[in-house]
Amino acid sequence: MDNTIENKRGTYVVRDKRGTYMGGYSEKLGKSNAVAWATECAKQSRGVLYYRKSPEEPEEEVATFLDYGRKSKQKHDKPKPKPKAA
């Protein structure tokens, strides 16, 4: 296999809030597919999406989904009752 720069492709890595590895998606899938699958994995695991250009390079944070799907803790005002017709 040829390891020239042109053939090297990056990887999207998903980790949970503790930093545990959840999944990795290579750009060999196609960049848009790799991003889509990694994003979905990060959303489902409420994790952080990283990109690594090569195995020797450090991971760079792309997006975080730690609070994805959680309801906000803001208090909602109850609707006022309608006045009764006389």
pLDDT band at 7 (very low <50, low <70, confident <90, very high): low
Residue 29 forms part of a structural domain: yes
Q: What is the DSSP letter of 54?
A: S
Looking at the 3D structure of the chain, how many domains does it have?
A: 1
Mean pLDDT of 55-84: 78
**Mean local confidence (pLDDT), 19-24:** 94
Domain that holds residue 21: 8-64
Domain contains 37: yes
Note the pTM of the prediction, 2 decimals: 0.71
Q: What is the CATH number of the domain that holds 20?
A: 3.30.1490
Share of the chain above pLDDT 70, in %: 77
Q: Is residue 13 part of a domain?
A: yes
User: Residue 5's pLDDT is what?
Assistant: 45
| Burial bucket for residue 55 (CB in 10 Å: 0-12, 13-18, 19+) | exposed
